[in-house]
Amino acid sequence: AQTVTQSQPEMSVQEAETVTLSCTYDTSESDYYLFWYKQPPSRQMILVIRQEAYKQQNATENRFSVNFQKAAKSFSLKISDSQLGDAAMYFCAYRSEGGANSKLTFGKGITLSVRP
Amino acid sequence: AAGVIQSPRHLIKEKRETATLKCYPIPRHDTVYWYQQGPGQDPQFLISFYEKMQSDKGSIPDRFSAQQFSDYHSELNMSSLELGDSALYFCASSLGLAGVTDTQYFGPGTRLTVL
């Protein structure tokens, strides 16, 4: 079974600064997908970014980018120019390549606070 | 753009009662997933449906059942409710089971409180 580990329960960043959230995972599969979801106080789960394991290029979405290290099984999220609205719980998630096993397996999450 | 709709948004039940949660996926999405998120926890997968057939099953208690209907909406039925069932229940939908299009989009959740 796949596992996702987010070892930092909390992080804090100054507004306009850059922060990196860490995530590691364990799998024996070669093809899979990785995601970062944001959960603000409203508890809505919002997709931030996704990465296909077969792609060497790191995904980027505006101020959000990832550092995907497949050999190290590491998938960190970098938030640039942090904004107050970035304050939320962030979950790293793993999904198998597809078919019947396409459920998401989440890490425990990290709470990000943004200081004005 | 249309999103996943869940109803009700909040539900309060007594122990041993039953509850039905409903999920309406994004139009054209044919796959529905149910997740349970306890207080301070990460979401845990319960069950999923693809084209009205159960496609995967996680840590769903036998007291719970679910189905997907011909219009692709899904219902999660929970019986003999226990205090430990109090949680946020998410529904997510996707288009298909494989590929990039399988990104799961979450509804706002139903907050169930069992007293």
Successive 10-residue mean pLDDT values, chain B, 115 residues: 92 97 94 94 94 90 96 96 97 74 86 97
Model pLDDT for residues A48-70, shown as the tens digit of each residue: 999 999 888 999 999 999 999 99
Task: Look over chain A and give the mean of its residue pLDDT values, rounded to a whole number.
Answer: 93
B98 — contact with chain A (CB < 8 Å)?
A: yes
In angstroms, the CA B31 to CA A107 distance is 23
Helix or strand (DSSP H, E) at B114: strand B110-114
CB B30 within 8 A of CB B51: yes
Best residue in B4, B33, B104, B113 to probe A by mutation, most A CBs within 10 Å?
B104
What percent of chain A is predicted at pLDDT more than 70?
A: 97
CB A3 within 8 A of CB A26: yes
In angstroms, the CA B58 to CA A2 distance is 13
CB A55 within 8 A of CB A46: no
A55 vs A81, higher pLDDT: A81
pLDDT at B2: 82
pLDDT at B1: 73
pLDDT at A24: 97
